Structure 1
C-alpha cells in the first residue's frame, strides 16, 4: 500500500469580491507561490479497508451519484400525501475539497512533504486512542515525514497545522476527516441515525492582515496583531459562490453536489430514523456533518426546517437522562434552528427535509416549484465580505424539491430566483429582488393579525447613552426597543402586515418555518418597499409526538442587510402558546409552556434578551456596504451592553428602551406556579448566563424546558410516546447556560428558598473568548 502524498504549499486564492489573498494549504502536488493555480485544497481521497487509496469525491465508491446532489425517492409515500419515500442505502454522497474519507479498518498513511521555508506539521485532532491527537511532529523545510494511524471510530474529525495556534489553520492549513463503516455506510455509526445521504460543512475565517504578514516571510504574532477576519467561508466559498449563483455552471453544479442540500419532502420521525414502510425505502432525513476550522464562534441557522442534533465532538447525545454540562451545554438529542460551533468544534445533526410546518395548506398543495431556504451563520458579521457586500459571507441554501411528477395547471407559490446568476458579489448584493406591494397568496381569515411599521428614532439607554434605533411599532406599542411582542396560539392563522415607509425591509420569523414567500428573505423571495401581509399558521401538536407542535419562544427581525438592520434594533419577541385544552384545564393565573409541558405563572412571565451596541454601526446608512464599499461590518466592537426585556404583562408604554435590572420569581414549593423566563440572544456574540445565590455562589435554579421554539424531549422508544425531561423525572436543572447569537432558551426559575438571587449575563467575544462585560438582574424570590 502506497501512502497518500500531501504537500504543504503556499499561493494566492481569489476571495468572493475578487481580491487575491495569500494562503497556505495541504495540496495533492507541489506548487510554488507564483503558481496561477496553486494546490492548496486537497481533492477528496478514500482510504479503503482493502488498502488502496482511491481518489473520489463520492462515497460509497460504487453507489450511484444523485444528479446535482439531489437523491430521487423510491416513490410517493402512500401514507402521507405529497410526500415521498427516500431510497434506503442507495445514493452516494459528494464531499468538498479538503476532505479525507477513511473506512473503518483502514490505515491512514500519508507522506507529508513541506515545500515551504518554515517548519509545519499535520495533526489529526481527537483521532488517536482515547481521543488523543495524532501528529506528524514538525517537518522541516524541504523534508518529508510519514504519518500513519488506524482509522478512528466512525465520525467527523478536523485535521490542521496547529503551529502558532491558530495562525497556520487560519492561513488555510486545515481539512476534514470523515470515517465511515463500509458495512454500515448510511449510518453515522453503529446504532446511530440512518440517513438518505450526508453532507460535510467546514466553516473557516480568512484574516487578510495575517495573510499579508505571512506572505512577506514574517511570523504572525496573534497577540500583537489581533485577528479581525475579513472573509467567512463554507467549504471554501462565500456569498453568491457558496450559493451556486455564478455564471460558471460547472462550478455551480459542484456546489450543488457537495455543499447545498436538496431532497424531496418526506415524513421523518426523530424517534426512529430507520422506519421502513416498504422494501428499499426508509423514512429518514439527511445527515449534516459540521466542523469549525475557523477562529470565531459560528451559529448555523437553518430556515425552513429545524435540525435534530445527535452528536458533538465525537460524543453521542443520549435520548434520555440528559444533563447540562459544566460549561452550560445541553447534552441531549434536541431540536435546534441555530447550531453553535465554537472553534475546532464538530457536530452532527439530521435535516428532516420535511414540509415546513408553518406553511398554509393551500400554499403547500399548490406548490409546483422547488422551495429554497437559506442556511447562514447568525453571528452576523460573518455574513459580510470585505466589510460589506451582504449577503457575502458564510452561507448556503437547501432545497425542498417539488414532486418528481408535476401536477399540471397549478399556480406557482414563489418567484423562482434560483436560476438567476450573477457576475460578481457586488452584482448579487446590490440586486436583491424588490417588490412594491405583493399580494398574499391564498389569504385566509386570520385569528391573529398585526401591523408592524418601520420607525427610526434616537432613544436613551439605561447607561445614559443615546443611539439612533430602527425598529417596528404598532398602534399601541409606542416607539420601543425591542419591537412589540407578537403572540398567538398553535393552529392560529396569523397575518402580519409590514410597512417599511422608506427604503426596503422584510420580516423574517426566526425559527418559524412557512413557505419561502412568507419567510422574509430577499434572495429566496423579495424585499418589500410598499407593504406586504405575511401569512402562516403555527403547527398543531400531537400527544407524545416530538415532531409536531410549535409552542415556544422565537423572534422576528428584518432580513435586509441583516448585520446592520438587526443591530439597529429591527427585532422583537414572538411567542407561540399552546391552545387551551378543555380536557386539561389549568389553574387560574397559569398557562402551559407547551401542550404537554409544565405550568408557569402568567403574572411573572419574563422576556430577557442580551444585546450590545457598537456606536459606529449606528451612524451608517441603510444600504451600507451593499455596493462594495468597506463599511466595516466585519468588525463589531461593542461599547454598550444591556439586558433588554422585563416582565411581559407589565411592559411599559411609550417611546423607550425596554430593559431590565430586577425581577420577581416565585419560590419553589410556594402556592404559585414557577416563573418562566424566555431568553433570546439578540447579541452577535456568545453569552454565558449564570445563576447565583445571595453569596455569589452558583445555584441550580434554572430548569431548561425549551430551546429554539421546541420543547426538550426524551425519546427512548422508537415507537412509544416522547415525554418532557421533567415528566420523565429527568429535569434539566442548571446554574449556567451557554448561548450563541440568535439562540432561544426557555427556563423555569426554581429558587430553593425565599431571598435574593442574581442572573448574571457574561458577554463573550466571539474570537478571544474573553468576557467583554457582565450585566446582572437582581431576582427577588418570594
Structure 2
C-alpha cells in the first residue's frame, strides 16, 4: 500500500455546521471561538477617547472595537478612484466607515489590551499585531491562529516602541489593499493625568538610550526594574508618522472583489480546492506575482506625480485626534521650532525598495519596535547617527524611529525614493517638507 494510492479512503466530514471548529480554514468563518483565558482589560485609552473626541463612545469598557473590510473607492491625486479594503472603528464616528491607513492605536506598556474585532465582507480576516508577542490564538496569523468572524484579541505589551497591525489572511493582497494601521506602545503613565500633564498632547516620551547624545534634553536613565515609568525614555516635542506605501492599480482592476482570491473548497480542503472559480476562469489571481506600483503615498497622503517624477506633499499636514487615540497634533509634514526634539516614526508598508534621506543628521533610536541600547539588549546594539544625505534603506514591514534636533532654522525636504523590488529601476522620489522656525 502506498501513500499515493491507499487501499482505504477515509472521507473528510463536512465543515457545514462546524465552522467554529474550522476557523483556521473556513471561507469565510460564520463564527469565532471564545477568547481563551479571557482577562479583565485595563487599557485606559478607549475611555480617554470617548471623553475627548466628539461623538466617540466606549460601549465595551477598556476595549476598542475595530472592524475590517469596509471596501470603498478612494480618489488618487489624478482623480482616479481605486478600490481599498479599510479598517474602521465602531466607537469613533470619524473612523466608522474606514480610513487609510487604519486609525493609529496607542497603548500604555503593561496594560491588558482588548480589541473586539469584527470581520465583514465575503473573505475571512485576521488582525496580526506585528511585533507584539501575544499567545498563539491572539497572534492573528492566517491558518496559524484563527480567522474572524468576531473575536476579542488580548495581549499585554512589554516594550515601548513602534509597531503596526494588519490583516494576515491572504496577506499580500489585504495588506496592499489597506488593511493595516500603526500601533504605538507608550510609557505606562502616558494616559495618566494625575500629575497634571496634558495626556492628549505633547511633549510625550518614548524609549531610548541617549546616554551618548546629550543634545536631547530630558533623557532619564536608570533601569527598567526600578518602577520608574520614565526609566530609559526621552521626551519629544513633535511627533511625525510616516507610513510609506505604494499601490499597483492593476491589482485593483484584477481583484476588485475580495473573494476572487479565495478558493472554493472541495470535499478535501487543501487538496481539491478550486482557485479559479471566483476569478471567472481568467486565472488573474496568479498575476499577483507581477507587482508594478504606479501610485505612491505617505500616511495616506498622495505623492502627486507619475512614474519617474520628483514631487512633494503639501506642508502642515496633521492627523486628527479621532484617528490617533485622542492625541492632538501628530504630523506628517514636519513643522517644528529650533531646539525642539522631533520623533519621526517610519513604517515601510511598500513592496518596493525604499530609501529615506534626511536633510539633517538624525539619530536612529529604535528598529522594529525595539529601542537600541535599552536593556535587555544594551550589550548587542546602540543608537547611531545617520548623517544628512545618507539614505536609510527599508523593506516591507520594517520600522525605524529617528530623533532630530536643530539649533538653526531649516526649510527643506526629506526624500523618499521608491525603486522596483526586482529591477531596482527608479520609480518616484517623494518629498516631505521639514521646517524648523
Tell me, yes or no, if the aligned pair for 2:319 and 2:332 is still in contact at 8 Å: no
Aligned pairs for 1:576-655 within 5 A: 576-580=185-189, 589-594=202-207, 595-601=231-237, 604-619=238-253, 620=255, 621-627=257-263, 628-629=275-276, 630=283, 631=285, 632-644=287-299, 650-651=319-320
Deviation of 1:568 (Å): 1.0
The corresponding residue for 1:780 is 435
Match of 2:333 among 662, 679, 689: 662
What do the CA deviations read for 1:213-260 (whole angstroms, capped 9, x no partner)? xxxxxxxxxxxxxxxxxxxxxxxxxxxxxxxxxx79xxxxxxxxxxxx
Tell me, yes or no, if the aligned pair for 2:246 and 2:352 is still in contact at 8 Å: no
Tell me, yes or no, if the aligned pair for 1:714 and 1:723 is still in contact at 8 Å: no
Q: TM-score with structure 2 length normalisation?
A: 0.66
Match of 2:373 among 708, 713, 730: 713
Is residue 174 of structure 2 the alignment partner of residue 571 of structure 1? no
Aligned pairs for 1:434-473 within 5 A: 434=29, 436-448=31-43, 449-454=63-68, 455-473=70-88
What do the CA deviations read for 1:503-530 (whole angstroms, capped 9, x no partner)? 22111111111111001112112211x3
Could you say if the C-alpha distance between residues 451 and 587 of structure 1 is closer, same or farther in structure 2, counting changes exceeding 3 Å?
closer
What do the CA deviations read for 1:278-336 (whole angstroms, capped 9, x no partner)? xxxxxxxxxxxxxxxxxxxxxxxxxxxxxxxxxxxxxxxxxxxxxxxxxxxxxxxxxxx
What do the CA deviations read for 1:405-454 (whole angstroms, capped 9, x no partner)? xxxxxxxxx9899xxxxxxxxxx9x7679461321112222123211112
In the aligned structure 1, how far is the partner of 2:292 from the partner of 2:79? 19
Q: Matched residue of 2:249: which SS?
A: coil
In the aligned structure 2, how far is the partner of 1:460 from the partner of 1:754? 35
Q: Matched residue of 2:350: which SS?
A: coil
RMSD value over aligned CA atoms?
3.4
Tell me, yes or no, if the aligned pair for 2:369 and 2:399 is still in contact at 8 Å: yes
The corresponding residue for 1:80 is none
In the aligned structure 1, how far is the partner of 2:331 from the partner of 2:431? 9
The corresponding residue for 1:525 is 145
> Structure 2: which 5+ residue stretches go unaligned?
5-19, 44-62, 208-230, 264-274, 277-282, 302-315, 324-329
Deviation of 1:562 (Å): 1.0
The corresponding residue for 1:500 is 119
In the aligned structure 1, how far is the partner of 2:378 from the partner of 2:179? 40
What do the CA deviations read for 1:608-631 (whole angstroms, capped 9, x no partner)? 011111112223121334433431
Is residue 227 of structure 2 the alignment partner of residue 556 of structure 1? no
In the aligned structure 2, how far is the partner of 1:720 from the partner of 1:566? 30
Q: Matched residue of 2:258: which SS?
A: coil
In the aligned structure 1, how far is the partner of 2:143 from the partner of 2:377? 41
In the aligned structure 1, how far is the partner of 2:173 from the partner of 2:22? 27
The corresponding residue for 2:403 is 748
Tell me, yes or no, if the aligned pair for 2:163 and 2:184 is still in contact at 8 Å: yes
Tell me, yes or no, if the aligned pair for 1:551 and 1:709 is still in contact at 8 Å: yes
In the aligned structure 1, how far is the partner of 2:297 from the partner of 2:407? 27
In the aligned structure 2, how far is the partner of 1:675 from the partner of 1:447? 30
Deviation of 1:743 (Å): 0.3
What do the CA deviations read for 1:671-700 (whole angstroms, capped 9, x no partner)? x3x1111111111122000113xxxxxx32
Larger radius of gyration between Structure 1 and Structure 2: 1
In the aligned structure 1, how far is the partner of 2:398 from the partner of 2:243? 10
Tell me, yes or no, if the aligned pair for 1:606 and 1:648 is still in contact at 8 Å: no
In the aligned structure 1, how far is the partner of 2:386 from the partner of 2:205? 18
Q: TM-score with structure 1 length normalisation?
A: 0.38
Tell me, yes or no, if the aligned pair for 2:239 and 2:331 is still in contact at 8 Å: no
Question: How many corresponding residue pairs?
Answer: 324
Tell me, yes or no, if the aligned pair for 1:597 and 1:724 is still in contact at 8 Å: no
Q: Matched residue of 1:767: which SS?
A: coil
Could you say if the C-alpha distance between residues 416 and 713 of structure 1 is closer, same or farther in structure 2, counting changes exceeding 3 Å?
farther
Tell me, yes or no, if the aligned pair for 2:344 and 2:401 is still in contact at 8 Å: yes
Tell me, yes or no, if the aligned pair for 1:643 and 1:660 is still in contact at 8 Å: no
The corresponding residue for 2:393 is 738
Deviation of 1:598 (Å): 2.3
Q: Matched residue of 2:363: which SS?
A: strand
Could you say if the C-alpha distance between residues 431 and 437 of structure 1 is closer, same or farther in structure 2, counting changes exceeding 3 Å?
closer
Could you say if the C-alpha distance between residues 502 and 721 of structure 1 is closer, same or farther in structure 2, counting changes exceeding 3 Å?
closer
What do the CA deviations read for 1:111-137 (whole angstroms, capped 9, x no partner)? xxxxxxxxxxxxxxxxxxxxxxxxxxx
The corresponding residue for 2:309 is none
What do the CA deviations read for 1:623-660 (whole angstroms, capped 9, x no partner)? 33443343111111111111126889742769xxxx98
Aligned pairs for 1:149-188 within 5 A: none
Is residue 351 of structure 2 the alignment partner of residue 684 of structure 1? yes
Q: Matched residue of 1:572: which SS?
A: strand
In the aligned structure 2, how far is the partner of 1:464 from the partner of 1:663? 26
